[in-house]
Amino acid sequence: MARIEVISGMERRRRWSAEEKRRLVSMAFAPGAVVSAVARREDVHPNQLYRWRQELRLLSPAFAEVVVAEGFTAPVPSITSVVQDMTMIEIVMADRTSLRLPSAISPDLAAAVIGALVRR
């Protein structure tokens, strides 16, 4: 049975709250999710989900949601022992941007970090 939505009056567009947009974007871009399937299920055009994702990124470009699994212990030594034993390489770019990398960094990773910094 098909769903029919009746829109009456002058209003022709649906209004989505910020929380609804966040919820739909989270569902659509979750690992393993298919954007078009979520859009079809929620009766939204897939392009609208991409637009909302872009808008949400502009609101907080420097932060990402972090989920911590319970009972997880990181196999990393304490930060004080790592910092005490670490020698650094400092790179100063032409625009006076500086970058500090640990001397134990792999050459491939260092090249990727420097490339990302240059492209920004």
Query: Three-state SS for 94?
Result: coil
pLDDT surpasses 90 at 11: no
33 is a domain residue:
yes
pLDDT surpasses 70 at 38: yes
71 is a domain residue:
no
Q: Provide the number of structural domains found in the chain.
A: 2
pLDDT band per the 50, 70, 90 thresholds, residue 61: low
Least confident stretch, 3-17, 23-37, 94-108: 3-17
Give the span between the Cα atoms of 38 and 27, in whole angstroms.
7
Give the span between the Cα atoms of 66 and 56, in whole angstroms.
16
1 is a domain residue:
no
Give the span between the Cα atoms of 81 and 101, in whole angstroms.
17
Least confident stretch, 5-14, 35-44, 57-66, 93-102: 57-66
pLDDT surpasses 90 at 35: yes
69 is a domain residue:
no
Query: Three-state SS for 91?
Result: strand
31 is a domain residue:
yes
40 is a domain residue:
yes
Which pLDDT belongs to residue 56?
84
Give the span between the Cα atoms of 87 and 76, in whole angstroms.
18
109 is a domain residue:
yes
**Residue ending a domain, choose from 29, 59, 89:** 59
pTM equals 0.45
Which pLDDT belongs to residue 74?
60
- The residue segments making up the domain with residue 47 are 18-59
Which pLDDT belongs to residue 46?
94
113 is a domain residue:
yes
Give the span between the Cα atoms of 113 and 101, in whole angstroms.
9
Mean pLDDT of the chain, nearest integer: 79
